[in-house]
Structure 1
Amino acid sequence: MKLLLLGGTEFVGRSVAEEAVARGWEVTVFHRGHHPPPAGVTARHGDRTTGEGLSSLAEGAWDVVVDTWSGDPAAVRDVAGLLRDRAGRYVYISSRSVYRFPPPAGQDESGPLVDPPSATGDLDYATCKRGGEIAATEAFGDRALLARAGLILGPGENVGRLPWWLTRMARGGVVAAPGPRDLPLQYIDTRDLARWVLDAAAGGLGGAYDTVSPPGHTTMGELLETCARVTGSAAELRWLEPERILAAGVEPWTELPIWLPPGEMHGGLHGGNVAKALAAGLRCRPVAETVADTWAWLGGLGGTAPQRPDLPPVGLSPEKEAGLLARS
């Protein structure tokens, strides 16, 4: 198989590239050159946001294109239009954020979607991803595969959610653990997403698939206790009720990464119906493997994870955590 990966040097894109190389696929990575590409790929350089940015893709044909773009959907439109007659399938790594917020627990791919981008509207993340889906589908029709991922964790994470928890556990002491302990979580390991995307593309799948683990694949308790164990930490988890956390002005998701209190938002993010993707072969590794491999990857970087420049760092400051614990 011949794969063209648009991106491919960070997190999900890199996971796709490494998985494809491991399969013996012929992999071409198109990127701006800001980060070194994975071993075993051919690199083509360009900036898809500029007028001549796609010139290095003027020639070539591929069985599969994988696109991880999250910005202005015009970039997807331009490259998909350029490649429609020279590529077999177009995989767009989308997001469950394309559903109208908040999606109810149990919703599947038939749920209502956000409005398409307009000429005068704001291009927020959800609108950009929906616009990317539309652009890919307009160019490739039923040859477009839309992988609507949810929370993505694993080695290479450049958002900082799981790396923050691992670093916090390694620091030790009393840790503010957001409860309830048995709160179910739904996410996908970047490597499982990569594996499914390549399998699905090679198998000729098209259309939209919600690509995250089944609800309850792990819990907040299992996740944090595993973080403590793999770091060898003597950290003491102090489980706090959601009401106390919110009363202290602590922000779910951003200051306490991954966590959302029980309710509408939690059900929308951690309670999606992914039966379609599971039936199409999606398999998710145990949380212990994701956590341990992420910690090992962090160790190889000296303990400091990369950070996407377009996103603010996540996590609770030591001062705010101490204040939260003092209130409990």
Structure 2
Amino acid sequence: MRVLVLGGTRFIGRRITEELVSRGDEVCVVHRGRTAPAIPVRQLHVDRRDLATAASRIRDFAPDAVVDTLAMTRADAEVLPHLPDVPLVVLSSMDVYRAYERLLAGRGGIPVPIAEDSPLREERYPHRGAASPDGYDIDMDSYDKLDVEPLYLARGGTVLRLGVVYGERDPQAREEFVLRRVRAGRGRIPVGPANLLWSRVHVDDVAQVVLAALDNPAARGEIFNICESTTVTIGDWMRQILDAAGHQAELVEVADVPPDLVLTGAPAQHLLFSNDKARRVLGWEPADPAVAVARSVRWHLAHPPADSDPDFSTDDRALGGPACAPSD
């Protein structure tokens, strides 16, 4: 199979490209040239906004399928007229659901687990004013997957709504709120009730389900929730991270948590999603979360971010004093 990948050089796109090549597919990665693919593949250096200028080169490649990893705004979807009429997979997000809107507003009311036909957000552009994730140059004021999904579905595309994606090379370093305390030898971590349920998914599982969607005609024009089959609370996830790091630390419930631990509060709305449809239709099964978390933690411990925050004064104030690791 010849697959055209829009954005295939970092994190999720990188893993999708690697998995496609590993199984023998011929891949052409469309990107701006700022980050090179990790493995030898055909490349097309063009901004997606200028994809029309590369139409003849896309026709020459003659893709059998297209994977769009970076359709974030309505403007991003303007590439559709320049793509061939072949199976199309686009990555979306669980933030399209009304439950996400309720969580941000401190309100509940949406039953869980959340399926593909659960209510969608009533408000638009949930991340206006936010900074773009490092290296992605996303217009967060215009970001909304609800502007993107209908246009891809109208083309018969497959929409994959992803849970919180973590894993090796994650630029957002999802585990860092714990690992920075591990590196500093902190023995007590101030948390709230830490009972939030928020479905996650390892990047390798995302890559595998993209391949499954490309191969299965039943995926055309369908929406799938992509997440792990079991979800632990934020507190238990923190304990998984600590265990994987081989670090002993006590989670201490406090009244006022530090800003980077706000997710350990007591939410009015959980974000627990069902992956039943993806498992049933696509025959996809995600890996054991405990194993996946351990792999991710090992990688991020070996590759700490350059800008890790060394200040734990808010921890100390919350705990009433310094919190060093217990001696062995």
TM-score (norm. length: structure 2): 0.78
Determine the C-alpha separation between the residues in 1 that align with 2:227 and 2:141: 18
Cα offsets for 1:42-78 (capped at 9, x unmatched) = 11111113476645535432222111215332222x3
- Kindly state the Cα deviation for residue 81 of structure 1 after the two structures are TM-superposed: 1.4
Contact 1:114 1:127 in 2 (8 A): no
- Kindly state the Cα deviation for residue 261 of structure 1 after the two structures are TM-superposed: 3.4
Cα offsets for 1:7-54 (capped at 9, x unmatched) = 011111111111111111111111111112021321111111347664
**Does 1:109 find its partner at 2:116?**
yes
- Kindly state the Cα deviation for residue 134 of structure 1 after the two structures are TM-superposed: 1.9
Within 5 A, what are the aligned runs for 1:125-204? 128-138=144-154, 140-141=155-156, 144-176=157-189, 178=191, 180=193, 184-204=197-217
Greater shift after overlay, 124-133 or 13-22? 124-133
Structure 1 partner of 2:64 = 63
Letter of the 1:49 counterpart: R
Q: What is the number of residues matched between the two proteins?
A: 298
Letter of the 1:304 counterpart: P
Structure 2 partner of 1:292 = 294
Cα offsets for 1:71-97 (capped at 9, x unmatched) = 332222x32211133xx2111100111
1:322 equivalent among 316, 319, 323? 316
Q: CA RMSD in A?
A: 3.2
1:93 equivalent among 91, 94, 108? 91
**Does 1:229 find its partner at 2:230?**
no
TM-score (norm. length: structure 1): 0.78
Structure 1 partner of 2:135 = none
Within 5 A, what are the aligned runs for 1:4-19? 4-19=4-19
Letter of the 1:284 counterpart: P
Determine the C-alpha separation between the residues in 2 that align with 1:96 and 1:46: 29
Percentage of matched positions with identical amino acids: 26
- Kindly state the Cα deviation for residue 112 of structure 1 after the two structures are TM-superposed: 2.7
Determine the C-alpha separation between the residues in 1 that align with 2:189 and 2:44: 46
Structure 1 partner of 2:45 = 45
**Does 1:80 find its partner at 2:80?**
yes
Structure 1: 5+ residue stretches without partners: 308-312
Contact 2:196 2:267 in 1 (8 A): no
Determine the C-alpha separation between the residues in 2 that align with 1:274 and 1:213: 7
Letter of the 1:92 counterpart: V
1:256 equivalent among 233, 258, 261? 261
Contact 2:179 2:301 in 1 (8 A): no
- Kindly state the Cα deviation for residue 224 of structure 1 after the two structures are TM-superposed: 2.2
- Kindly state the Cα deviation for residue 227 of structure 1 after the two structures are TM-superposed: 2.1
Letter of the 1:82 counterpart: H
Letter of the 2:265 counterpart: P
- Kindly state the Cα deviation for residue 320 of structure 1 after the two structures are TM-superposed: 1.2
